[in-house]
Chains A and B, each alone.
Chain A
Amino acid sequence: MVIGKPGSSGGPDQAWIEREQAQARAFDAISTRYDEAFPHKEGQLAVVSTLLERLAPGARVLDVGSGTGLPTARQLADAGCHVTGLDISPRMIEMARKNVPEAEFVLGDVMELSSEPRFEAVTAFFVLLNLPREKVRTALGQIGDVLVPDGWFALGMVEGDVDDVPIAFLESRFRVTGYLRDDLRAVLAESGFTIEQEQVLSYSPETSSARPEIQMFFLCRKLDSRS
């Protein structure tokens, strides 16, 4: 499956490309530690379970920022979905292919998705927080574009009120963005999603090199373009 826009990798925004490459290297570096630091993903598992209740067997699902493939690609594949994983980190892709051999994993950026509506659902857990707010809107638009009408979108974000600030995370440097829950609801609505269900919970990573956080899970539906 061709997932990128033809020619998009040679686009004009060289600074952005370099930044994404740096971010990919940072994810490569933490790939083995990530699941150790975040071992309990009950919130994420729960929202995917709810999503699965609403999907027909064999549904096509895109997991943006699929990471190690655990637990989401694994969970979706186990439920019989046709899973495509997307990640910018080659190390993560490599691990995901081992963890979930029946899924397809593609190295790439959510910004480069071609706008063909071909997925019944998209999941994006703790990945859009790596984009500046301006790009989050673009990414949400892209996700809307690849969803079929009435398609589902499951999103996991960390509550905060920052736009593209540098933080230390598992001894690597990342830039992160956060929304307060009210603001995120507004952004989702403006991007053409209706929120069907949401859950907010506190989470403590099991390491001193990541801070505790408030995780927000939203299960949304793409608004019917006719309305």
Chain B
Amino acid sequence: MHESEHGHSRVLTYEGDRRGRDVGRDTHELGCGPVDLRDHLSFLNEATERIGAGTDMVAIAGQFAAALVPRLADFASVHLLDALFVDGAPAPPAPGATASSLVRRVAVAHDEPPERWLSLVPEGAVQIMHDTSPCHEAMATGVPVWLDRVTPDRAEAMALSHSPGDLYPLVADRAYLAVPLVVRGRVLGCVALTRRPERAEFDQVDVLTVGQLAAQAALGVDNARLFRGQVATAAEFRRGVLPTTPPTPAGIEVAHRYLPANPAVEVGGDWFDTIALPGSRVAIVIGDVMGHGVRSAAVMGHLRIAVQTLAALDLPPGQLLRQLDSLALQLGDDHLATCLYAVYDPIASCCVIANAGHLAPMLVRADGTVERVEVPSGAPIGVGGVAFDTAEIPIRDGDVLVLYTDGLVEARGDDIEDRIAALGECLELAARPSADPETLCDTLLTMLDRDKHEDDVALLAARLKGIPAENIANWLLSPLPPTVPKARRLVRQAMAEWDLPDGVRETTELLATELVTNAVRYAHGPIELRLLRTRTLLCEVRDDDHFLPILLEAGDLDEGGRGLFLVSQLALRWGVSRTANGKVVWFEMPLETLDHGLPRESTIED
């Protein structure tokens, strides 16, 4: 406490009326008997408990202010550095570096009617502490500062630098105590207390008492700040690794739910994904990294990106998991996870599924019956050296594929097989009113009462709607020059049958011709030309040449490069992927005449 000498003497010369004193000097004033002491300790105990009960910074400050009034002061206000409320702000300053810090008044307590000081010292207001305020000095020095009486001159000076309203009546002729909130050598804010003139000045016991409670409050605030930072980091991290709005490729409708085991941290090792693949196929992924919390979430992030990258190569499901397994082994021995990778083909009406130790999905058939999909069990990712078998599941349009992690069915003491059977029954009941994926997820979670889950829960429901054959045209063509005009004719003919808008027809014909021209130049085996009409018109050209084309700048005279340049300029989206036998180059055109939903798609079925 000897440090107060420094702040005190400096301000003394400035004000002259101010008492900043060494606490040790007035020990005789303590003079309390056993009853007083018991009462005092009981107050301290109760106040400490109140302060400790707060969970966030504002609540702790509120409890602190409330504990001080009326026993220690008639008025108390708690101020915290505004930077504490900003995510990612640097650590709080050391004393001496607070002069220009923004400070937020987070809690005010007093014994007068609530509105008495409301407009003068509103909670939530942000200011820079003026050097006329004892709080300024308390924060700058890191030690308590107190005035026996605020003189009219000092009150005038404080009022002049205060806005809004007139501060004079709140401080003039009052006893004033400012105690900084300091923890681990850092200043987090301060508390200001005043007593009306008729009350005694603050004494050493008061200063020690407030100091004790301020230390408690500061620790609580700092912990809350660090925890809040952790939660924010975790939430940000999760936002970075989980799809917020799942992509909705044609032919599928997806809903998902994610319930972390620790809702405060909001991250876990479960993940899911939907990834659009060439040919309107969709990869549906679910996985579960062993363990919980931030560490497993970080591993999850790695594996999820790896799956996305491998999916972009359009590897068959079994091969994809094999590659993921090798990658996981390279990434570290904590990269252990179960994962299920399904590729839904809305044209072929089937799902090809490979599994790495994950729970088998459920299939809610369009007629309401529920099946547990038979998939190979497989070894978890990260075990290494195992092959992953695949299963092909026939799908009827309207079936809903339900993927989930074990958190949904695991409960202590229950047999997992029983829980899975129960899940099947719940699904059957849930699907009865509506097999809409969103409704299904909600109903299912309510039925299973998953609020009490001990493990992360991920749930994904995908309605597999299919694409009617009428919206597909597919031809095998020879890799010979006469194919180019023939392909052009086929495309024109198909678009005329579909009654597509003129603008789309002209551009598609041009771009499709460019892609077929490229394919004819490089392919050895047959070329496959496909048109697919959904919300967009998709045109794909497959050939057996493994070299992916390179997009050249405009102005280059190479015709192949020019073709792709045209595609990149005129198509809505385009891309190139490797296939098992070569590559596929594709582009999409918007179908603008969609003023009443999908063109015919919904009416053509059946």
Residues of A within 8 A of B (CB): 36, 158-163, 165-167, 176, 178, 180, 201-214
Contact = CB atoms under 8 A, between A and B. Distances in A.
A204 B530 CA distance: 12
B525 A166 contact: yes
Nearest to B471: A202
B477 A205 contact: no
B282 to A, nearest CB: 13
B350 A211 contact: no
Interface stretch (B63-71, B341-349, B358-366): B341-349
Given A207-B350, A207-B392, A202 B472 contact: yes
A60 to B, nearest CB: 34
Nearest to A211: B474
B470 interface: yes
Contacts of B392: 207-209
20 contacts: A161-B475, A161-B476, A163-B478, A165-B525, A165-B526, A180-B475, A180-B486, A202-B470, A202-B471, A204-B348, A205-B348, A206-B349, A206-B350, A207-B348, A208-B345, A208-B392, A211-B528, A212-B348, A212-B469, A214-B475
Contact of B349 (A166, A178, A204, A213): A204
B490 interface: yes
B185 interface: no
Contact of A208 (B350, B483, B486, B530): B350
A178 B467 CA distance: 24
A145 to B, nearest CB: 30
B476 A208 contact: no
Contact of B477 (A161, A201, A204): A161
A208 B526 contact: no
Given A202-B471, A211-B476, 10 more contacts: A160-B476, A161-B475, A165-B478, A165-B525, A166-B525, A180-B486, A203-B469, A208-B343, A211-B474, A212-B474
Most buried by B among A203, A204, A210: A204
A162 B348 contact: no
Contacts, number: 77
B347 A212 contact: yes
Contacts of A205: 348
Contact of B469 (A163, A176, A202): A202
B352 interface: yes
Most buried by B among A166, A202, A203: A202
Interface string B360-390: 0000000000000000000000000000000
Interface in B300-353: 343, 345, 347-350, 352
A208 to B, nearest CB: 5
Contacts of A206: 348-350, 394
Contact of B473 (A163, A207, A209, A214): A214
B469 A204 contact: yes
A161 B352 contact: no
B475 A160 contact: yes
Contact of A167 (B394, B490, B526): B526
Given A203-B469, A204-B469, A180 B348 contact: no
Nearest to B525: A165
A210 B474 CA distance: 12
Nearest to A200: B497
Interface string B479-494: 0000100100110000
Given A180-B490, A204-B349, A207-B350, A165 B394 contact: no
A213 B469 CA distance: 9
Contact of A160 (B348, B349, B469, B477): B477
A185 to B, nearest CB: 14
Most buried by A among B474, B477, B490, B528: B474
Given A165-B476, A176-B476, A208 B352 contact: yes
B474 A214 contact: yes
B349 A161 contact: no
Given A212-B472, A214-B473, A161 B478 contact: yes
Interface string B392-421: 101000000000000000000000000000
Interface string B556-584: 00000000000000000000000000000
A210 B528 CA distance: 13
Contacts of A204: 347-349, 467, 469, 472
A202 B347 CA distance: 11
Given A206-B394, A208-B352, A162 B477 contact: yes
A176 B489 CA distance: 22
B470 A162 contact: no
Contact of A161 (B343, B348, B474, B486): B486
Most buried by B among A160, A167, A201: A160
A35 to B, nearest CB: 13
A211 B542 CA distance: 12
B474 A162 contact: no
Nearest to B476: A160
A39 B472 CA distance: 18
A187 B525 CA distance: 24
A29 B528 CA distance: 25
Contacts of B394: 36, 206-207
Nearest to B486: A161
Contacts of A176: 476
Nearest to A160: B476
Given A161-B486, A202-B469, A212 B530 contact: yes
Contacts of B345: 208
